């Protein structure tokens, strides 16, 4: 064989080798057997600034990178706070003047993730200790109008909080030199917020104007994480540096090692995290829990092989951006994503008889369900003369009749594939005060009773005596897609069955809000997802001080009931107790009779997990719990290979074509060049 033939043979062999080696595996071979959790995101995070970030996509990062003073027990329900960076969950300390204080004591030897920003505090510094002043700095950032934090309202319970923000804005406007200085210097010159007191390097006290026990839930969110002033000062978007909103410097179990929010984000287990550096502490949030909710042991969540193990169990988290749901789900089925939701297009093939289909189960996939702390409902404008409080007993009977005609169970079957738990009151499962045995007599379909209540309201068979025609009402919504309009017409059809003529008024969101501001509505559709798992965060939606017409608040029903208000103010400032439980029961009874809402459902999410993932318990709220998970990387690798066997016959067909057509041409070309 001459050298040209050898060259052609070599080229053919290389072609065969390259084609046979082709794979659709999107990840490096070197990572095949590592404990890396692969997931995806659809929308890029708007910001990773913990004082501002308030979306699920942002929290998937900030919740892992930034540790908090308190956190939630992974398994217990109702949701239970446990110590995080703080040594204990503080207890309220009432003061003689009516104020209430909480004192946090940080664990010793806490460190920030290593970062170049710390050279601002001294040349050669890569990190430093976390102090109580770093928590105070972050709380002050929330008060800063320039930061534009979305959680100013709950922190306005702290003494002097709002006043500090006002003084800061006024000083900046009046003094350009002051406004040009770094934020931490401005805060220091203006003086501390009275309700935020740094007592020592490890002790912080917050003082509230009055009792507000729910403030502790906010210390389980990244809003209140320790933040180093050096990071905010250094990452200003100047001289090639990113903005602080794109470069978190935290204390959490993971650090952000790669960030391209339009494509890929990578989190690495952080060796400096206190749980890894001090395993001897066995702090609650650094080891897998030894107790949980009823049923957890039977579900394998309290396996002795994992109880007490140090966290995190997964060494890396990789987020890939996927804008389209179908390609994302296909990659899950190939094993390239470890968990997934269920796409609408495949729901009926995946869920059969309210469980996982045999085909999915045969792949080792598990279905987990979780109920979000949410409520979706139909509301009445209680200031309307027909359906509202002004109509007295007639209006109350009318609202009860309309409630008895709404078949939410059928609505869920038709429009959410059955995903949702029927709501009997505003309180969802998992919260203190929720009674699984309570059944609201006006939240079951009973058309005969509905017609009787209509007659009691003065509308026999739905006829308005003033017109001699069916009673006409309006139902305002801001959804205008065909699917959403169909879903809303379902309610109208139910009311028509008892003789009431309800007209659908569908507009855009801005127009809807304008109608609400003007009081030009009777029935509306709305929902709420809790900021924290406490009944106060649901019942305040019906507190008269939050009425939309009065304060622009979230009480869109404009419900006002003196006894309900009295009870709300009592439960608002109470710790959980049998007394609080009794008061909540009375509040539910008032809503049952008055019917400012027709309670609909609590959203239920379905999640799919591959069998190589272990210890997943859906949390319901937007708190990443990945540090408690584990995975079998070798088992995943084996199944990936089995599920993605290459189809080789096209390769050999292409090689044959190359041998017949391409290589002779190359040989002729080379000889002519010779």
Which tens digits make up the pLDDT trace of 420-456? 999 999 999 989 999 999 999 999 999 999 999 999 9
Residue 23 confidence (pLDDT): 61
Are 117 and 251 members of one domain? yes
Are 66 and 185 members of one domain? yes
Are 384 and 251 members of one domain? no
Scanning 364-415, the segments in alpha helix (DSSP H) are 392-404, 408-415
Beta bridge partners of 552: none
Task: In whole angstroms, give the CA distance from residue 213 to residue 206.
Answer: 12
Task: Single out the residue in 235, 269, 286 at which a domain terminates.
Answer: 286
Is the model's pLDDT at 624 over the cut of 80? yes
Residue 56 lies in a domain: yes
CATH code at position 151: 3.40.190.10
Beta bridge partners of 473: 502
Q: State how beta strands 630-631 and 351-352 pair.
A: unpaired
Q: State how beta strands 374-380 and 523-529 pair.
A: antiparallel
pLDDT above 70 covers what percent of the chain?
92
Give the confidence band of 236 by pLDDT, cuts at 50, 70, 90: very high
Are 480 and 509 members of one domain? yes
Residue 354 confidence (pLDDT): 82
Are 56 and 16 members of one domain? no
Beta bridge partners of 128: none
Reference 296, options 533, 603, 618; nearest CA is 618
pLDDT digits (tens, 9 = 90+) for 87-121: 999 999 999 999 999 999 999 999 999 999 999 87
What value does the mean pLDDT take over residues 210-224?
96
Is the model's pLDDT at 521 over the cut of 50? yes
Residue 646 confidence (pLDDT): 73
What value does the mean pLDDT take over residues 574-599?
97
Structure tokens given for 50: 């913990």
Task: Single out the residue in 227, 256, 286 at which a domain terminates.
Answer: 286
- Which uninterrupted H or E stretch holds 665? helix 663-673
Contact 160, 139 (CB under 8 A): no
Q: How far is CA 459 from the centre of its chain?
A: 44
Residue 10 confidence (pLDDT): 44
Residue 656 confidence (pLDDT): 54
pLDDT digits (tens, 9 = 90+) for 409-422: 999 999 998 899 99
Residue 263 lies in a domain: yes
Are 190 and 114 members of one domain? yes
* CA dist list (Å): 609 to 38, 331, 436: 12, 13, 28
Are 408 and 496 members of one domain? yes
Is the model's pLDDT at 654 over the cut of 70? no
Give the confidence band of 24 by pLDDT, cuts at 50, 70, 90: confident
To the nearest 10°, report the CA torsion of 47, 52, 54, 55.
-10
Are 251 and 140 members of one domain? yes
HSE-CB for 444 with a 13 A CA cutoff: 7
The structure tokens 């690798």 sit at: 637
Is the model's pLDDT at 658 over the cut of 90? no
- Cis before 504? omega within 30: no
Contact 328, 322 (CB under 8 A): yes
Is the model's pLDDT at 22 over the cut of 60? no
Reference 231, options 126, 136, 363, 317; nearest CA is 126
Task: Single out the residue in 232, 252, 286 at which a domain terminates.
Answer: 286
Q: What are phi and psi of 256, to 5 degrees?
A: -85, 110
Tell me the pTM: 0.87
Reference 434, options 320, 553, 587; nearest CA is 587
Residue 639 lies in a domain: no
Strand order in the sheet with 366-371: 339-340, 604-609, 366-371
Residue 667 confidence (pLDDT): 56
Give the confidence band of 661 by pLDDT, cuts at 50, 70, 90: very low
Task: In whole angstroms, give the CA distance from residue 616 to residue 368.
Answer: 8
Q: Which DSSP letter does residue 310 get? A: B
First-last CA distance in the chain? 17
Contact 558, 548 (CB under 8 A): yes
pLDDT digits (tens, 9 = 90+) for 256-277: 999 999 999 999 999 999 999 9
Residue 345 confidence (pLDDT): 82
Range of the domain at 530: 374-602
Please enumerate in sequence order all residues whose Cβ is within 8 A of that of 239, keeping only pairs 6 or more positions apart, or say none.
none
CATH code at position 473: 3.10.105.10
Domain count, the chain: 3
What value does the mean pLDDT take over residues 157-176?
97
Q: Which DSSP letter does residue 344 get? A: G
Are 572 and 659 members of one domain? no
Are 48 and 16 members of one domain? no
pLDDT above 90 covers what percent of the chain?
82
Residue 331 confidence (pLDDT): 96
Residue 652 confidence (pLDDT): 53
Residue 509 confidence (pLDDT): 87
pLDDT digits (tens, 9 = 90+) for 308-325: 999 999 999 999 999 999
What value does the mean pLDDT take over residues 653-671?
49
Are 148 and 8 members of one domain? no
Residue 14 confidence (pLDDT): 45
Contact 422, 443 (CB under 8 A): yes
Residue 326 lies in a domain: no
Residue 312 lies in a domain: no
Residue 650 confidence (pLDDT): 52
Residue 22, SS3 per DSSP: coil
State the chain's mean pLDDT as an integer.
Answer: 92
Residue 590 confidence (pLDDT): 98
Residue 307 lies in a domain: no
Residue 265 lies in a domain: yes
Residue 608 lies in a domain: no
Is the model's pLDDT at 384 over the cut of 50? yes
Are 133 and 274 members of one domain? yes
Task: In whole angstroms, give the CA distance from residue 461 to residue 452.
Answer: 8
Give the confidence band of 532 by pLDDT, cuts at 50, 70, 90: very high
């Amino acid at each position: 064989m001459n050298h040209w033939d050898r060259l052609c043979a070599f080229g053919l062999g290389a072609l065969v080798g390259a084609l046979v080696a082709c794979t659709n595996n999107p990840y490096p071979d070197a990572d095949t057997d590592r404990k890396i959790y692969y997931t995806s995101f659809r929308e890029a995070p708007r910001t990773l600034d913990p004082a501002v970030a308030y979306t699920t996509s942002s929290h998937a990062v900030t919740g892992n990178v930034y540790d908090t003073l308190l956190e939630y027990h992974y398994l217990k329900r109702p949701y239970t706070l446990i110590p995080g960076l703080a040594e204990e969950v503080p207890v309220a300390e009432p003061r003689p003047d009516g104020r209430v204080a909480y004192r946090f004591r940080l664990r010793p030897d806490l460190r920030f993730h290593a970062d170049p920003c710390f050279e601002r505090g001294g040349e050669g510094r890569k990190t430093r200790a976390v102090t109580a002043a770093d928590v105070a700095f972050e709380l002050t950032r929330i008060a800063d109008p320039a930061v534009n934090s979305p959680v100013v309202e709950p922190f306005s319970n702290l003494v002097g909080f709002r006043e500090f923000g006002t003084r800061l804005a006024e000083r900046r406007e009046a003094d350009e030199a002051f406004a040009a200085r770094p934020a931490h210097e401005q805060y220091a010159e203006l003086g501390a917020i009275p309700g935020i007191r740094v007592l020592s390097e490890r002790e912080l006290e917050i003082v509230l104007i009055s009792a507000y026990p729910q403030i502790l839930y906010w210390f389980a969110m990244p809003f209140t994480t320790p933040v180093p002033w050096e990071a905010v000062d250094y990452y200003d978007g100047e001289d090639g540096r990113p903005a602080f909103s794109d470069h978190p410097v935290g204390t959490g179990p993971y650090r952000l090692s790669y960030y391209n929010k339009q494509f890929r984000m990578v989190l690495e287990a952080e060796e400096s995290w206190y749980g890894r550096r001090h395993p001897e502490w066995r702090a609650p949030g650094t080891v897998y829990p030894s107790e949980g909710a009823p049923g957890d042991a039977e579900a394998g969540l309290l396996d002795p092989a994992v109880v007490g193990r140090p966290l995190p169990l997964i060494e890396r988290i990789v987020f890939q951006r996927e804008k389209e749901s179908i390609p994302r789900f296909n990659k899950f089925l190939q094993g390239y994503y470890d968990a997934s939701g269920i796409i609408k297009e495949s729901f009926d093939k995946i869920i059969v008889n309210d469980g996982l289909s045999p085909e999915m189960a045969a792949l080792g996939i598990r279905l987990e369900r979780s109920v979000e702390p949410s409520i979706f409902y139909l509301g009445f404008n209680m200031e309307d003369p027909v359906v509202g409080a002004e109509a007295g007993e007639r209006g109350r009977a009318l609202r009860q009749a309309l409630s008895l005609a709404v078949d939410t169970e059928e609505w869920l079957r038709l429009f959410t594939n059955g995903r949702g738990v029927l709501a009997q009151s505003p309180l969802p499962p998992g919260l203190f005060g929720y009674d699984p045995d309570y059944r609201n007599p006006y939240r079951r379909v009973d058309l005969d009773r509905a017609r009787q209540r209509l007659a009691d309201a003065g509308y026999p068979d739905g006829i308005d005596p003033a017109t001699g025609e069916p009673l006409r009402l309006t139902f305002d919504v801001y959804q205008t897609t065909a699917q959403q309009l169909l879903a809303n017409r379902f309610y109208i059809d139910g009311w028509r069955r008892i003789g009431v003529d309800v007209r659908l008024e569908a507009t855009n969101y801005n127009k809807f809000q304008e109608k609400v501001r003007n009081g030009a509505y009777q029935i509306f559709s709305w929902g709420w997802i809790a900021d924290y798992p406490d009944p106060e965060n649901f019942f305040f939606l019906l507190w008269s001080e939050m009425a939309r017409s009065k304060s622009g608040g979230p009480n869109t029903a404009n419900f006002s009931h003196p006894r309900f208000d009295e009870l709300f103010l009592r439960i608002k400032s109470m710790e959980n107790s049998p007394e609080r439980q009794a008061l909540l029961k009375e509040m539910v009874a008032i809503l049952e009779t008055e019917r400012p809402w027709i309670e609909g459902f609590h959203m239920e999410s379905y999640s799919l997990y591959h069998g190589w993932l272990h210890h997943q318990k859906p949390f319901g709220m937007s708190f990443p719990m990945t540090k408690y998970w584990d995975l079998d990387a070798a088992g995943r690798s084996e199944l990936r290979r089995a599920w993605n066997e290459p189809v080789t016959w096209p390769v050999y067909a292409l090689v044959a074509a190359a041998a017949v057509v391409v290589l002779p041409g190359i040989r002729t070309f080379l000889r002519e060049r010779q």
